[in-house]
Amino acid sequence: MITKVLFGTPFMTEAVMQPVKQVETLRYFTAEKKEDQLCFVCPLEPDEVVYGLGETTGAMNKRGGRYISFNTDTADHSDDNPSLYASHNLLVLEKRGFCIFFDTPARAVFEIDYRKSGQIRVTCSEHVAVYQVEAATAYEAVREFLAVVGPAYLPPRWAFGYGQSRYGYECEKDFRQVMECHQNAGIPLDYICMDIDYMDGYRDFTVDTEKFPNLKKFAAELLDRGIRLVPIVDAGIKVDPGERVYEEGVKNGCFCTNVEGGLFRGGVWPGMTHFPDFLDPKARRWFGLQYRFYTDQGIEGFWNDMNEPALFYTEYTKGPKRMEQILNFIFPRLRRNARDRAAIRDYRYIFHQVDGKRICHYDVHNIYGGNMIRATSEGLSELLDHRYLVFGRSSYIGAGRYGGVWTGDNTSCWEHILLNMRHMASLNMCGFLYCGADTGGFMGNCTRELLLRWLAVSAFTPLMRNHSSKGTRAQEAYRFGDPEAFRSILMLRYRLLPYIYSEYMKAALRSDLYIKPLAFEYPEDQRVKNMEDQLLVGQSIMIAPIVTKGATQRTVYLPEDMTMVRYDGQNFSCTPCSKGEHTVEVPLSHAVFFIRSGKLLPVGKAVTNSRDVTVDDLQLLGDGDTYELYWDDGMTRDCTLNNIRLLKK
C-alpha cells in the first residue's frame, strides 16, 4: 500500500503522477525538527540491506555511506564523493518490503548507518512530501512505487543498438570514418553521438557549416547505411544579441533571472549563457520546439548535457579563476569542496518563475536537469509522430518518464564496471529504465581487455554506448587490433536484441524493472543479499560478468538451477547447472550468462544493425515452455501489451 505524509508546504515536483492517499503518520521513521530542517530517523537491524538512491557512488547496499542529493557536475566517481549528477531520494528497506521517497527539490543528506551506527538519518527541507510503500517484498514495494511515478520512457528500437561516441569528433570526415571502420570490421553499430564540437560556437540548435556543409544530406547518407546521428544539446543558451534562439528566449521570458531581476548569466562552453527556466511550462515548450532545427534535418536522437546546471563561472565571480582551477586540478578533494562552495554561492543568484512566484534556484536545484529532459521529450513528441531517443545527465525521480540517463564522466578503470552494474539496478528502482554508462570509461586510457569486459556488461544495459574524452586513448572497438573478439561481444548484443527490447518494453508497460538485484527475486536466499556483481536482466537472464583485470574465470553463485549459456561469437552452447557455486571460465572473446529455471530466452540471427533484427525465426534457449515476446515496428507510439505474443518451445 502506498501513502504520503506531507510536512510543511512541499514544492510540487511532479515526480509522482498518480493520486496517493494522504495519511498522518510515517511507518518506521520518526521526524525531528532541526532549525529549519527536518531529520527523519529509522533504526536499522545489523544485517539489513538498504537499496535505492539511484545514481550515487559506492555499493548498491547504501549502508555505511553518506550521500548528498545536490546535483553536481563531477568526474570524481569514487566511493567518498557524496554527490553525482542526479538526486533520487528513494530508499528501499529490503527485508521489510518497504520503500520511502523524500520528495523535495532541495538539498538532502542521507546518512545510512553512518554518523550514528544502526540508523538511517535523512536531513532535508521542512517542506517535503514523503511517500511510503509497504508490501510483502521489496520488489513489490518498488513496483508499486513505480506505478505511481508513471510509465517509463519508451525509446525507439534503434536506441537499443550499439552507439559510438567521443568528445573530439569534429567534422563529417570523423563521423564517416567511425561508421566505415565499424562496418569494414563487421562490428555492429546503430548511431554515432555528436559532441559539442559540431555546433557553431557551442550554440545549441546550430551547426558549424564548415564542418557540416549540409547536415541534412549527411544525416541521410549515414541513415542510408543504418547509422543515425545523435547530437548533444547543452542547457545554457549563449548570450548572443541578434541570434534567433537567444532573442526569442529573451522576448518570451524563458530564461532564469538573477538577484537584481535581470537575466542570470553563467559561463559554460559558449561563454556567457542564459539558463532556460525549465521549471516553467512555457519555457519548456519553447525550448522543446527548438528541436525542430534537428528534426527538419532527419535527426531524432539527443543527449542533454550540463543540465545540473554545470557552471564554470558567473558574473558574480570576482577576479581570475585560473589559480583556483589549477589548485582544483592538483587537489581533487579540495576541488570538490571548492566546487560545492562555488555552486552553493552561484545557485543562490539564480531565480525561477513558478506559478507567478520568484523561487531561488538553490531551493529547487535538483529538479532542473530532469525538467530539461522533459522539455526535450515533450518538444520531440510534438514535432514527431513516432518515438525518439533522449537521454540526459542530471535528473530527479519522474524524469524517467521522459527519457533515459547516462551516468556521466566515469573513468577507464575496473571498479567502474562494477559501479556501472550497481547504477543500473539502483536507477531502475527509481524509474530510469533506459540507462547506461560510458562504456570503456570517459576519463583515462582504456585498454583492450577493459573494453571487452566492459562491453560484455553493457551488452545487457538498454543504453549501450562507448564514449570517451578528448585527450584520452581512442577506444572505438576497432582500435585494438584483432576485431574478432569485439565482433563476438557486440554480435551477442544484436542476437539478444529481440529479448532486450521485449523485456524493456514489457517492464516499462508494467511498471516493472528491467534490471534488478538478485534479492528482488530470491528474498529468502541470504547469500544473494549483498551480491552486487551478479544481476537479473529481464525475466529470464542472470548475468555474472568478469570485472577484474587479468581474470579468466570467476565464481558464480546460482540461487536456483539455471542453464549456463556460452556465446563464442558463432554459437550458443547451453549447459544445465545446479543451484550453488560454480567456477566459470570466460575467455575475452566469449560471453557467459545464465537462464533462470523455467524460463526461455529467444535469440536472433547475427546482424550488424538494429534494422535487420527480425523475430521470424528465433532460437529458444533454456528449459521453460513459453516466452512472452513484445514486438512492434520499433517506432510506433502505439505500444500496448497487445503487442505481446506467446512463443512456445
- Catalytic machinery residues: 305, 308, 409
Query: Residues 76, 103, 195, 632: which binds ligand MIG (CB under 6 A)?
Result: 195
Contact flag: residue 190 with ligand MIG (CB under 6 A): no
Pick between residue 409 and residue 512 the one whose CB is nearest to ligand MIG: 409
Contact flag: residue 409 with ligand MIG (CB under 6 A): yes
Pick between residue 205 and residue 630 the one whose CB is nearest to ligand MIG: 205
Question: Which regions of 493-607 does DSSP assign to beta strands (E)?
Answer: 515-516, 535-537, 541-543, 553-558, 562-567, 572-577, 580-585, 591-596, 601-603
Pick between residue 412 and residue 488 the one whose CB is nearest to ligand MIG: 412
Question: What's the min distance (Å) between Cβ of 255 and ligand MIG?
Answer: 21
Mutual angle of helices 368-383 and 281-289, in 10-degree steps: 50
Question: What's the min distance (Å) between Cβ of 72 and ligand MIG?
Answer: 12
Question: What's the min distance (Å) between Cβ of 193 and ligand MIG?
Answer: 8
Residues in binding contact with ligand MIG, number by CB under 6 A: 10
Cell of 353: 518563475
**Number of helical H runs and strand E runs in the chain:** 13, 38
Contact flag: residue 196 with ligand MIG (CB under 6 A): yes
Pick between residue 369 and residue 462 the one whose CB is nearest to ligand MIG: 369
Question: What's the min distance (Å) between Cβ of 14 and ligand MIG?
Answer: 25
Contact flag: residue 204 with ligand MIG (CB under 6 A): no
Question: What's the min distance (Å) between Cβ of 464 and ligand MIG?
Answer: 15
Are the beta carbons of 603 and 572 closer than 8 angstroms? yes
Residue 561: which H helix or E strand, with range?
none
Question: What does the alpha-carbon distance between residue 138 and residue 583 come to, in Å, rounded to a whole number?
Answer: 30
Residue 152 dihedral angles phi and psi, to the nearest 5°: -70, 150
Closest C-alpha to 73, from 341, 362, 306: 306
Question: What does the alpha-carbon distance between residue 243 and residue 245 come to, in Å, rounded to a whole number?
Answer: 6
Pick between residue 143 and residue 393 the one whose CB is nearest to ligand MIG: 393
Pick between residue 232 and residue 464 the one whose CB is nearest to ligand MIG: 232
Question: What's the min distance (Å) between Cβ of 408 and ligand MIG?
Answer: 5
Pick between residue 150 and residue 276 the one whose CB is nearest to ligand MIG: 276
Are the beta carbons of 49 and 63 closer than 8 angstroms? yes
**CA angle at 419 for the pair 418 and 420, rounded to the nearest 5°:** 85
Question: What does the alpha-carbon distance between residue 347 and residue 402 come to, in Å, rounded to a whole number?
Answer: 25
| Residue with grid cell 518515438, as numbered in its chain | 387
Query: Residues 167, 191, 291, 499: which binds ligand MIG (CB under 6 A)?
Result: 167
Sign of CA dihedral 469, 592, 514, 59: negative
- List, in order, residues 6 or more apart from 133 with CB less than 8 Å away: 1, 2, 98, 99, 100, 141, 142, 144, 145
Q: Give the strand order in the sheet containing 2-7.
A: 21-22, 2-7, 128-134, 98-103, 90-93, 50-52
Pick between residue 310 and residue 603 the one whose CB is nearest to ligand MIG: 310
Which residues within the stretch 209-248 sit at the binding site for ligand MIG (CB under 6 A)? Answer: 232
- Report which DSSP code applies to 96: G
Position of minimal CB gap to ligand MIG: 167
Pick between residue 101 and residue 442 the one whose CB is nearest to ligand MIG: 442
3-state class (DSSP) for residue 230: strand
Question: What's the min distance (Å) between Cβ of 236 and ligand MIG?
Answer: 12
What single string gives the DSSP state of each residue in 120-181?
A: EEEEEESSEEEEEEE-SSHHHHHHHHHHHH-PPP---GGGGSEEE--TT--SHHHHHHHHHH
Question: What's the min distance (Å) between Cβ of 232 and ligand MIG?
Answer: 6
Which residues within the stretch 426-485 sit at the binding site for ligand MIG (CB under 6 A)? Answer: 442, 467
Contact flag: residue 533 with ligand MIG (CB under 6 A): no
Contact flag: residue 48 with ligand MIG (CB under 6 A): no
**CA angle at 424 for the pair 62 and 644, rounded to the nearest 5°:** 135
Question: What's the min distance (Å) between Cβ of 197 and ligand MIG?
Answer: 8
- List, in order, residues 6 or more apart from 423 with CB less than 8 Å away: 54, 55, 407, 435, 437
Cell of 539: 525475466
Which residues within the stretch 362-401 sit at the binding site for ligand MIG (CB under 6 A)? Answer: 393
Question: What's the min distance (Å) between Cβ of 106 and ligand MIG?
Answer: 24
For residues 53 to 72, the per-residue mask of contacts with ligand MIG, x marking binding by CB under 6 A and - elsewhere, is --------------------
Query: Residues 82, 150, 266, 408: which binds ligand MIG (CB under 6 A)?
Result: 408
Pick between residue 342 and residue 556 the one whose CB is nearest to ligand MIG: 342
Question: What does the alpha-carbon distance between residue 28 and residue 43 come to, in Å, rounded to a whole number?
Answer: 8
* The 3-state secondary structure of 528-560, one letter per residue: HCCCCCCEEECCCEEECCCCCCCCCEEEEEECC
Question: What does the alpha-carbon distance between residue 328 and residue 574 come to, in Å, rounded to a whole number?
Answer: 52
For residues 300 to 319, the per-residue mask of contacts with ligand MIG, x marking binding by CB under 6 A and - elsewhere, is -----x--------------
Residue numbers of the site for ligand MIG (CB under 6 A)? 167, 195-196, 232, 305, 393, 408-409, 442, 467
